[in-house]
Structures are given as structure tokens and as C-alpha cells.
């Protein structure tokens, strides 16, 4: 694929790169230790339009496409991936509501997600017993007069304790399998909604990951996305797009780590020369740079397919699989090149290795991406 970015795409990339350098990078190491949630940073990113890149302009978004979004996520992932993940979920939730909510529902929630006044969004799909297999969810929404009552537990919810609005999936027709799952918009502070646990994670310390309990949370028909029973397909479609975002985030993390390793290898001397001149080190960096380039092209190809309304589920799965698996390897190489210095906090690569690890897990594990790819191959055979 020949990818030549347009002026608009380059402009978004510049804005995100500048935001990463100015707003995120200077505090990323400190945030890893303080674990402070980036409230102020999300507001600043919102003012730059980065919480709703592909959201329609009439709802306050940038009205741009998935390529702009991907390029922005690569930059923010390099700046601070723990902020980038909140940006990614907010973009995904804002787009989901904008494209599938009634005009009133979209007007009620999307502008606040995009302008940062709701802080961020959350995507409440996974459960303690249903992560890779969301069709097995147990959370129910039961009819109560002309309302619904949501009860159940959601797990691994990025920004679940901070989001001003979230999309929550629940079984509304237990007899109908995945066709009995419905997506609702639920505001923060809804009666019966509680945070039962905040996870202590290996990385992404500036982001929060919550377990949420829904104890009869009341919602109306006007909070349903698309229609009752359409929730599972909506989740799958949103995740196809979300996977381009996570792939981009992983590329950003790996790019930051690789740049640090190349700098270090050019400065650090052993046996009378910079270590980059030793073939063993040069070869590792050459492999890492090649993987990074391939991952970037695959991710942009998936984004172009989405933008031009072609099928992109398989392309997004392939991009996420390749980019996140190789981003992990690239960060490991970057650490190895730094030697003992790579293992301590003085250099950014140990944090990169911890932060990048989850990209092989969330928004569909690598194993799930292989399932998606293999099923598409079967359909094409
Ligand atoms: N787009 C639209 N529809 C889709 C679809 C897609 N990509 N994939 C499946 N569907 C539809 C199918 O067409 C089918 O509909 P019909 O019955 O009408 O034909 C229906 O969904 C069921 O399809 P499958 O039988 O293929 O579904 P499945 O239960 O076997 O699951 C799966 C398929 C792809 C493995 C899916 O379970 C999956 O993606 N699992 C991973 C879940 C995941 O990524 N979770 C991440 C959680 S969110 C997160 O991490 C966010 C965060 O906070 C960072």
C-alpha cells in the first residue's frame, strides 16, 4: 500500500505530536510513580480536539477519519500510553453513541465526552467470567414497567470510575443468545452503580481500571443504542475500530522505546566504539525498525479500509496482532540495548515494556485476533 498522508492528516499528526511532547512526555515518568489520573491532561487534549477526532462536527467532534485518529494515537502512545488509553476509549465511546444513539441521546452525551467536561468515556462490556467471550455475559437488564433495571458486574473497565458516561452491555432476552444483548448509555452517578474494585496493574499506572457493580440501575428505552438485541453486533463493530486505536497506541510506545535505544546506542561506548556499531546491537535495532515500519503500514492500511468503507475487521485484527506482538519485542530489544540501565527507572524503556504488555490483551487478546482472522479466511475459502 502506498500511503501518502493528506494535509489534514499531517496537521492532526502535528497537533498530537506537539501535545505528546508538551503535555504528556514531561510528566509521564512521574505519573507512572504517582499513579495520578490525568484529569487536567485530558481536558487539554480535549481542547485540541483529540477526544473526538472522528466524531461528527455537529456533535463537537473533528469530523475526520480513522487515519487521522490512528496517526494521533501513535503520537499520544509515544507521549504517555496511560493517557492515550483514556483518549482511545473516549473516542470509541463517543463515536459509538454518535453513530448509534438517537439524535437526542447523541446530543445529550457526545459533546460532553468530546469537550472533556465529562472527563472521559468507558466501554463496559467485559465481565469477571466473560472477557474474550462477551456473548456469555451475565449482566441483565430486566423490564420494570416502562424502564429497565441493569444488574451485574463489569470487569477491566478502563476509566470506569472516572467516566462521565459509559456504554453498558446487558442481556435483555436470555433466550436469544448474542441477539438478546442490548447496549445502554449510563451516566456516572446513576443510582445503584458502584465501583467495587480498582486494579493494581503492571503498567499504565496513569489510567484507572475498575470493576463496576450494577445493582438495579434504572435506564429507559431512550438510553438504548440502535435497538434492543443489537448490542453484541455494535460491540463487535466498535472493537474492530478500537483495535486500530490500540495497534496505534502500541506503535507509539514502541517508537518511543526504539528512539531511546537508537540514541543510547549511538552514545554508549564499549570496546572503543558506540555500541550501535557492534553488529549484535545494530542487527537488533534493524529488526526492530523493520517491524515498526511494517506494523505502522498494516495499521494505516486498516484505517484506510475503514475510512473508505471497505471491510476492515480482518485487517484491523491482523494489524493489532502484528503491531502489539512486535511492539512488545521492540520494547524488549530497547531494554536489552540499554543493558543494566534499561532495567532501572532512570531510562524510559522499563516503563515502556510494562506499559506495552497489555496491548496484547485488551480490546481482544492476540489469541482472539487469530480467531477473527481465521474465521475471515474460512469465509473467503
Ligand atoms: N462486525 C459486525 N458484526 C459482527 C462482527 C463484526 N466484526 N463479528 C461478529 N459479528 C456478528 C456476527 O455476524 C454474528 O451475527 P449474526 O448472528 O446476526 O450473524 C454475531 O456477531 C455473532 O458472531 P460470532 O458467532 O462470530 O460471535 P462469537 O461469540 O463466536 O465471538 C469473537 C466472536 C470475535 C471471538 C468475539 O467474541 C470477540 O471479539 N471477543 C473478544 C472481545 C473483546 O475484544 N473484548 C475486549 C473488551 S473491551 C476492552 O478491552 C476495552 C477497554 O477498556 C480498553
Residue 232 Cβ inside 6 Å of ligand 1? The answer reads: yes
pLDDT in tens, 210-254: 999 999 999 999 999 999 999 999 999 999 999 999 999 999 999
pTM of the prediction? 0.97
Average pLDDT over residues 275-288: 98
Residue 158 Cβ inside 6 Å of ligand 1? The answer reads: yes
Is the per-residue pLDDT at 265 higher than 90?
yes
Whether residue 333 contacts residue 288, with contact meaning beta carbons closer than 8 Å, is answered with yes
CA 186 – CA 214 distance, rounded (Å) = 10
Residue 89 Cβ inside 6 Å of ligand 1? The answer reads: yes
Mean predicted lDDT score pLDDT of the chain: 97
Distance in Å, CA 82 to ligand 1 centroid: 25
* Sign of the torsion formed by the C-alpha atoms of 236, 165, 154 and 34: positive
Q: Which atom of ligand 1 is nearest to the CA of 239?
A: 44
Distance in Å, CA 127 to ligand 1 centroid: 15
Q: What is the pLDDT of residue 1?
A: 65
**pLDDT band at residue 379 using 50, 70 and 90 as cut-offs:** very high
pLDDT in tens, 93-104: 999 999 999 999
The catalytic residue positions are 363
Tell me 20's DSSP state. Answer: I
Closest CA to 225 of 57, 94, 60, 91: 94
Distance in Å, CA 235 to ligand 1 centroid: 7
Amino acid at each position: 500500500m502506498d500511503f501518502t498522508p493528506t494535509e489534514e492528516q499531517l496537521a492532526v499528526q502535528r497537533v498530537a505530536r506537539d501535545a505528546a511532547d508538551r503535555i504528556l512526555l514531561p510528566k509521564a515518568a512521574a505519573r507512572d510513580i504517582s499513579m495520578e489520573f490525568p484529569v487536567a491532561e485530558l481536558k487539554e487534549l480535549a481542547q485540541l480536539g483529540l477526544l473526538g477526532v472522528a466524531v461528527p462536527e455537529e456533535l463537537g467532534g473533528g469530523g475526520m477519519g480513522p487515519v487521522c485518529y490512528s496517526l494521533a494515537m501513535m503520537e499520544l502512545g509515544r507521549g504517555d500510553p496511560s493517557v492515550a488509553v483514556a483518549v482511545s476509549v473516549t473516542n470509541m465511546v463517543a463515536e459509538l453513541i454518535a453513530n448509534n444513539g438517537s439524535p437526542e441521546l447523541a446530543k445529550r452525551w457526545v459533546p460532553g465526552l468530546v469537550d472533556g467536561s465529562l472527563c472521559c468515556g468507558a466501554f463496559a462490556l467485559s465481565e469477571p467470567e466473560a472477557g474474550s467471550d462477551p456473548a456469555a455475559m451475565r449482566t441483565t437488564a430486566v423490564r420494570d414497567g416502562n424502564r429497565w433495571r441493569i444488574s451485574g458486574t463489569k470487569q477491566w473497565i478502563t476509566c470506569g470510575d472516572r467516566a462521565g458516561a459509559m456504554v453498558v452491555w446487558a442481556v435483555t432476552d436470555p433466550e436469544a443468545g448474542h441477539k438478546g444483548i442490548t447496549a445502554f448509555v449510563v451516566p456516572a452517578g446513576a443510582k445503584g452503580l458502584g465501583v467495587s474494585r480498582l486494579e493494581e496493574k503492571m503498567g499504565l499506572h496513569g489510567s484507572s481500571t475498575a470493576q463496576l457493580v450494577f445493582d438495579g440501575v434504572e435506564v429507559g428505552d431512550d438510553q438504548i443504542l440502535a435497538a434492543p438485541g443489537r448490542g453484541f453486533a455494535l460491540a463487535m463493530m466498535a472493537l474492530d475500530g478500537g483495535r486500530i486505536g490500540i495497534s496505534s497506541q502500541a506503535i507509539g510506545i514502541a517508537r518511543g522505546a526504539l528512539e531511546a535505544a537508537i540514541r543510547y546506542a549511538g552514545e554508549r561506548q564499549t570496546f572503543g566504539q558506540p555500541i550501535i556499531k557492534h553488529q549484535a546491537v545494530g542487527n537488533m535495532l534493524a529488526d526492530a525498525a523493520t517491524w515498526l515500519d511494517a506494523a505502522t503500514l498494516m495499521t494505516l492500511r486498516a484505517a484506510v479500509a475503514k475510512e473508505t468503507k471497505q471491510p476492515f475487521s480482518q485487517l484491523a485484527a491482523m494489524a493489532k496482532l502484528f503491531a502489539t506482538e512486535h511492539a512488545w519485542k521492540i520494547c524488549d530489544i530497547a531494554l536489552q540495548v540499554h543493558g543494566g540501565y534499561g532495567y532501572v527507572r532512570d531510562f524510559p524503556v522499563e516503563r515502556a515494556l510494562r506499559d506495552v504488555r497489555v496491548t496484547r490483551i485488551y480490546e481482544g487478546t492476540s489469541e482472539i485476533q487469530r480467531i477473527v482472522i481465521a474465521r475471515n479466511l474460512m469465509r473467503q475459502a
